[in-house]
Amino acid sequence: MLLALAAALAIAVLSFTFLLRPQDVHQGAGATPWKHLEGRKASIYENLRDLQFEYRVGKLSDADYQRTKTDLQTELAKVLAEIDELKAAAPAVSPATGQPSRTAASKKAVVANVCPHCNAKFDKALKFCGECGKPMGVSA
């Protein structure tokens, strides 16, 4: 009876974590890429706590406890590795801080490539305008 209960719990826990995967990956497209993984990490920690509780109150045999705990810790390690991978691959800046650097770059390009006297445009920055021969005003 206890064994059957423990097995059912282990199956429920494992199928819960595995079944959740495709859906979570799909939902994670909008926010930070590892947000769904943080959720999974939290649920695994919760499962570990539940498992320890059930073991302490004598609901689980030693073998079942160890086996389920190992399964959960393996799953947890995978999730943590995935989070590390995503954080390493993701740019350090948030979308909000990314914008100023982009506008600054395009502004600099306009100043360097367009003659302030005749408005001639060039592919690259020049000291003197190829059209009117006047110095390209970097100070402009």
**Which residues are at the interface with Zn ion (CB under 5 A)?**
115, 117-118, 120, 129, 131-132
- Of the pair 69, 117, the CB lying nearest Zn ion is at 117
- Of the pair 48, 111, the CB lying nearest Zn ion is at 111
- Of the pair 84, 131, the CB lying nearest Zn ion is at 131
Q: How far is the CB of 129 from Zn ion (least distance, A)?
A: 3
Q: How far is the CB of 103 from Zn ion (least distance, A)?
A: 25
| Phi and psi at residue 50, to the nearest 5° | -60, -45
Q: Residue 37: what residue type?
A: L
Cα separation, 138 vs 6, in Å, equals 75
How many CB atoms lie under 10 A from the CB of residue 139? 6
Q: Which two tokens stand for residue 121?
A: 């445009």
Q: Where are the alpha helices (DSSP H) in the chain?
A: 2-27, 35-56, 62-89, 95-113
Q: How far is the CB of 135 from Zn ion (least distance, A)?
A: 9
Q: How far is the CB of 108 from Zn ion (least distance, A)?
A: 19
Q: What is the CA radius of gyration of the chain?
A: 29
- Of the pair 86, 120, the CB lying nearest Zn ion is at 120
List the one residue out of 79, 78, 74, 70 whose CA is nearest residue 38. 79
